[in-house]
Structure 1
Amino acid sequence: MTSHLEGGCLCGHIRFRTTGEPGFPHTCSCRMCQRHTGALTAAWVEFPADAVTWTGPGGAPAVYRSSDRSSRAFCPRCGSSLGAVDDAPVIALLTGCFDKPQLKALKPASHSNRNARPRWWHPEVDA
């Protein structure tokens, strides 16, 4: 069991600490994720909003309202993408933002929006 995980943006201005187990570890190739991250595939994990504490000197990240149910989170200083703040209330954090992204608890279990990826791009997700 993971008691807490930590991570943050490129410059360290925005930092976070999570409690509890990450949920729905997955990758996604939808156009919104591609544009948000600049990558063809994004890796995500979700937490209830009350399980994420913004601990860095910058406090909570800046957000951009990207859909009718979610906002994309980023550092206003360095521009790093951090995740999505959903209305659910859920915070989905990009796996690469964690200090230890190699942890098994963050390993994607599924891939969303396969049809949006280029035909030549085939990310592997082991179950």
Structure 2
Amino acid sequence: MTQVHTGGCQCGAVRYRAEGEVGFPHVCHCRMCQKAAGNYFMPFGGVKYENFTLTRGQPTWFQSSANVRRGFCGQCGTPLFYDGGHDHISITLGSLDEPESVKPGLQTNLPRKMIWFGELDTLPHDERMDTSAEDDADIAASSRQHPDHETQDWSPEAHS
């Protein structure tokens, strides 16, 4: 049976479907990915163009270098795609509806990796900052975030 992966942006304006295996799942530490994600790294996986479909909306594109354009939601800003002009488009693994379904198999651009990453598991945990079931319910009641599954119709304003 063919694997099917769906995903999209935080607000639901852009949604996609990817059929088949997500290839080359990796974490990129390059400075360009750090800036595009607003984070320390960006996780990606590739999908052949013929197996990729936008199911809602259109991304906004930024030409981040001569050979690469990056797609994101023009409404909420979620980074979604990396298009290097080859035979595939790379999707951000965090934008998948089931991000745990694709595990990165390697890292790239290690010279830019934060030197303290190996220490993250040793940081103390402040349980007071964890959300409770009651907090989760309150957040869910007012969330404008698209759910992690396909929807027939979606308007973030209708869910506020």
Q: TM-score, normalised by structure 1?
A: 0.88
Q: Deviation of residue 86 (structure 1)?
A: 2.0
Shift of 1:123: 9.0
Please state which structure has a larger fraction of its residues in helix. 2
Higher relative contact order (CA 8 A, sep 6+): 1
- Give the Cα–Cα distance (whole angstroms) in 1 for the partners of residues 119 and 41 of structure 2: 8
Match in the other structure for 2:15: 15
Instruction: Provide the residue aligned with 1:86 in structure 2.
Output: 84
CA distance in 1, matches of 2:87, 2:68: 9
The alignment's TM-score, normalised by the length of structure 2, stands at 0.70
Structure 1 letter corresponding to 2:65: S
* CA offset digits 1:65-90 (Å, max 9, x no partner): 11122101100111111121221132
Which residue of 1 is the match for residue 50 of structure 2?
50
Q: Where does residue 111 of structure 1 map in the other structure? A: 107
What stretches of structure 1 of length at least 5 have no aligned partner? Answer: none
- Structure number with greater Rg is 2
- Give the whole-Å Cα distance in 2 for the aligned partners of 1:63 and 1:123: 35
Query: Over residues 73-111 of structure 1, what are the superposed CA-to-partner deviations in whole Å (9 max), with x where a residue is unaligned?
Result: 1001111111212211321001100000111xx101100
CA distance in 2, matches of 1:24, 1:53: 19
- CA–CA distance in 1 between the matches of 2:90 and 2:83? 6
Q: Percent of aligned positions with the same letter in both sequences?
A: 35
Residues 123/73 of structure 1: CA separation in 2 closer, same or farther (3 Å cut): farther
Q: Which residue of 2 aligns with 1:31?
A: 31
**Distance of 2:8 and 2:118 partners within structure 1:** 28
Aligned equivalents of 2:7 and 2:106: distance in 1? 22
Q: 1:63 to 1:89 in 2, by over 3 A?
A: farther
Give the secondary structure class of the aligned counterpart of 1:102: helix
Q: Over aligned residues, Cα RMSD in angstroms?
A: 1.7
Which protein has the bigger strand share? Answer: 1
Deviation at 1:48, TM superposition (A): 1.2
